[in-house]
Structure 1
Amino acid sequence: MTKTACIISLTPVTDEPRVLRQSKALADAGWNVIVAGFRGRQEPPPFWRYIEVEHVYETRRLIENVKLDWKRRLSPYSGQFAEDYYWSQAGYDGIFEHIATIENVRCDLAIAHDYFTAPIAAKLAALSGGVYSVDCHEFSFEQYMHDPKWIKRERPWVHAMEKRYLPGASVVTTVCDGIADALKSTYNLPNRPVVVRSTAFFHNLPFRQTGERIEVLYHGIVSPMRGLEQTIESVKLWNPEYHFVIRGPGPDDYVASLNALAETHGVSGRVRVDPPVPFNEMVPRANTADIGFFVQEDISIQKRFTLPNKFFEYVQARLALCVADLPEMARLVKAYDLGVLVPNVTPQAIASQINGLTRDKINAHKQASMRAAQRLSWQNEAAVMLRAYGIDTSVVENA
């Protein structure tokens, strides 16, 4: 009998790379795949049964809000209070009812993406007689350490939620070794989370010789704490042939602030903010650039061990890489000679590394990406994920 997996991710799931890769691997292994989440820019793939959900916020009386706030405050001392607070906010109970009752979903495996969908997955698994898994994109306990209000108000509750749901999962997966170790020690998990890196689908793209104009590309979510402000400021220190392109989704006001910053520093002619492109076009479009770029500050375990989708997408796009000197990215950059590492997130450090990438060096690192693309692809990583779920990988590996 064909088994069913239900993936729950409260993101625009049709644009979410990890969901798209994960679901494709399960479908290729012969499973029925249901995906519940928000609607994205592109249509869902044909092998999904797609369930569109949304947050529905309920108006409550003041006394009810006071009671709920106390449950949040007491959640570090009671997992039940943490769970009660969860089900009372952001329409999570409505999302569960939509999936389980209106859509009548039953599954052998419910896959939660991060802690805030774990209660839904756990409840759905119990209803179905199946199991649930939690896929941790982040080390959520330290996700917003730059925000004092989050640290005081939300961090203890996040900790309580993960402490309640991670140990009960049939398997916990995450994106890199550093976060796997942090999760195991923080929550005293019986097994170390399985590392399933966010590698991209393999793309058979050509080597592109670096031309007169050298394009440095950041693609991904356009938001604060990603070093974009410091990078724009650094452009005035770059050699004149280098140009900076930012491509991805972001709030209009923040995008406007980046354009204004480029104007302030006199580099608006060398900085361009492009709208996002569909998931299937991201890597081919990136191939028109020369250097894949990403720097962020080391302000927490979460930031220190970052190993994002874009790192592997740059490799598939056959780019040279210029990324922050953080352990997970640095290990791969050095192992495959993919590019250079920025020691700190200052305009001077960024400019020094960019200017040091001559055309010959860029071409050499592009060739290194050519050599590494097959090994650093989802076609290899998918088998790791399937084995973690106890699924026979021979069908996928021989596909």
Structure 2
Amino acid sequence: MAKICWITPGHLSTSPRLRKEVLAAQRQGYETTVIATQYMPYLYEDDAAFIRQNPQCRVILLSWGKREFKDQYRKYLSGLLQKLTIVLSKIINSRLLNKIALNRYYYWQLKQANKCKADLYVAHNSGALAVAADAARCISSRFAFDAEDFHDAESHSPDILKCIEHIQRRYLDQAIFITAASPLIAQAYQEKYQLGKIEVILNVFPKNNAELQFKTANKLRLFWFSQYIGRDRGIEECLQALALLNHDNVELHLLGLLHTEEEKYFNTLIKKYHLEEGLVRFHPPISEQELIEFTANFDVGLALETGEPYNREVCLTNKLFVYLQAGLALIASNTLAQRTFLEKWPDCGWLVDLKNHQNLSETIQLLIDHPNKLEQAKQKAYYYGANYLNWEREQEKFIYLIHTCLNPKKSLS
């Protein structure tokens, strides 16, 4: 059977999209390999758990985050090289400099990819694009690109954004196929790079077979999660909205890694807005396997994208689809992508103007005052997740793409 190799500059455990693709391909009988790196020690065990649970998948990892000498030495040298290439890329328009600027381990990943001799390389993230393309060229193979974000409009320096555009303009039109995580990300890439069809594969999750949890607590339980609990993610606006409400009727739960500096920052805001003790509760990160079950304990999922940078205006994040699988009603900020999403999948949530704290506060109060509307929205969200917006359905698009690419005659028969 054909061999597929996925490449990401980051952790295996921080890319559920990549892992779902790997498992879908394995179930079709493909030989799978992942080339990734490790640099956040608290994620090492999550990476190891996936490897233990999926021994059929070959995983090649480069560690550069531990306190051991070799990791620190590797981190220092690669960081120095990357900074130097970023400076030089301002003066010299070099494709090689751009590759290293976007991926400090470009050479290591390319070496591993060449050894793999895959029939198809799949690049996740713009930093992996040149690795996949160059490896495919070396062995006369093929490569694909997955755009989970519109990388041209992320929070990077102008120098890095210039490198991203240079690499994507060089390679994207050579990809055998391109996938995107939202319709508007696909549209943005098509318009900027004059590309043909891009297949939209949403960041959905496998079906949740547990029964829908109905509201039993006296308080409305709001929930937000991410890898990190940080600034400018819509949390500040939510705290301001909560200040306008009766604190006896609502709780806000935030899940993610919370650094000491950020904890001080949010506690200062909590005091500033006179929010009662216990109204805002922080939860440490949990595994992906536990996430949907944990999320089901709440009533409303918050998708509070700020719309800045522009990528946040066009993306549909993982959290949106976790909320649906867990049967939570949605409160979503009025970005282009989320507005379009709720127009297509109505009655499962409410759009709010994130800059208007009164609007957000009134929406929360509506759900407190009308529990029947809350339950109807939760039922609709759960229905969409169970019947349409799940990986069991969405993976068929990816399977078709790889079958068509690697077995064209069989796919057409």
Q: How does 1:111-122 map to 2 (within 5 A)?
A: 111-122=122-133
CA distance in 2, matches of 1:236, 1:186: 42
Match of 1:172 among 160, 175, 178: 178
CA distance in 1, matches of 2:98, 2:239: 41
Q: Counterpart amino acid of 2:208?
A: H
Match of 1:127 among 138, 157, 161: 138
Larger mean CA deviation between 376-385 and 15-24 belongs to: 15-24
Provide the secondary structure at the position in 1 that maps to 2:36. Answer: strand
Residues 337-386 of structure 1: CA deviation (Å, up to 9, x unaligned)? 11111123343232122111132111111110122112110111101122
Residues 42-67 of structure 1: CA deviation (Å, up to 9, x unaligned)? 2113132111124534659x999777
Match of 1:205 among 187, 205, 210: 210
Instruction: Give the TM-score taking structure 2 as reference length.
Output: 0.84
Q: How many residues align?
A: 378
CA distance in 1, matches of 2:292, 2:184: 26
1:17 aligns with 2:24: no
Check 1:318–1:73 CA distance in 2 against 1; reply closer, same or farther (3 A cut).
farther
Q: Quote the residue 2:69 is aligned against.
A: none
Deviation at 1:88, TM superposition (A): 6.4
Q: Quote the residue 1:337 is aligned against.
A: 347
1:153 aligns with 2:155: no
Q: Quote the residue 1:138 is aligned against.
A: 149
Cα root mean square deviation, aligned: 2.6
1:225 aligns with 2:243: no
Residues 149-171 of structure 1: CA deviation (Å, up to 9, x unaligned)? x2x33222221121112112111
Deviation at 1:98, TM superposition (A): 5.5
Asked if the contact 2:110–2:135 (Cα under 8 Å) also holds between the matched residues in 1, the reply is no
Q: Counterpart amino acid of 1:85?
A: N
Asked if the contact 1:247–1:274 (Cα under 8 Å) also holds between the matched residues in 2, the reply is yes
Check 1:229–1:68 CA distance in 2 against 1; reply closer, same or farther (3 A cut).
closer
Q: What are structure 1's unaligned runs of at least 5 residues?
A: 76-80, 394-399
Residues 253-288 of structure 1: CA deviation (Å, up to 9, x unaligned)? 224422332233222421111111101111111000
Provide the secondary structure at the position in 2 that maps to 1:336. Answer: coil
Q: Quote the residue 1:370 is aligned against.
A: 382
Provide the secondary structure at the position in 1 that maps to 2:338. Answer: helix
Deviation at 1:249, TM superposition (A): 2.9
Check 1:98–1:282 CA distance in 2 against 1; reply closer, same or farther (3 A cut).
farther
Check 1:285–1:65 CA distance in 2 against 1; reply closer, same or farther (3 A cut).
closer
Q: How does 1:270-309 map to 2 (within 5 A)?
A: 270-309=279-318
CA distance in 1, matches of 2:172, 2:188: 13
Match of 1:86 among 95, 99, 105: 99
Q: How does 1:349-388 map to 2 (within 5 A)?
A: 349-357=359-367, 358-373=370-385, 374-388=387-401
Check 1:120–1:90 CA distance in 2 against 1; reply closer, same or farther (3 A cut).
closer
Q: Quote the residue 1:236 is aligned against.
A: 243
CA distance in 1, matches of 2:401, 2:85: 40
Q: Quote the residue 2:168 is aligned against.
A: 162
Check 1:375–1:259 CA distance in 2 against 1; reply closer, same or farther (3 A cut).
same
CA distance in 2, matches of 1:142, 1:64: 21
Asked if the contact 1:73–1:157 (Cα under 8 Å) also holds between the matched residues in 2, the reply is no
Provide the secondary structure at the position in 1 that maps to 2:222. Answer: strand
Asked if the contact 1:233–1:347 (Cα under 8 Å) also holds between the matched residues in 2, the reply is yes
Deviation at 1:89, TM superposition (A): 7.1
Larger mean CA deviation between 259-268 and 377-386 belongs to: 259-268
Q: Quote the residue 1:69 is aligned against.
A: 87
Provide the secondary structure at the position in 2 that maps to 1:166. Answer: helix
Q: Counterpart amino acid of 1:136?
A: A
Deviation at 1:72, TM superposition (A): 3.6
Larger mean CA deviation between 215-224 and 373-382 belongs to: 215-224
Residues 222-260 of structure 1: CA deviation (Å, up to 9, x unaligned)? 233311122123221234311111112354422442233
Asked if the contact 1:283–1:313 (Cα under 8 Å) also holds between the matched residues in 2, the reply is yes
Deviation at 1:180, TM superposition (A): 0.7
Match of 2:221 among 192, 215, 224: 215
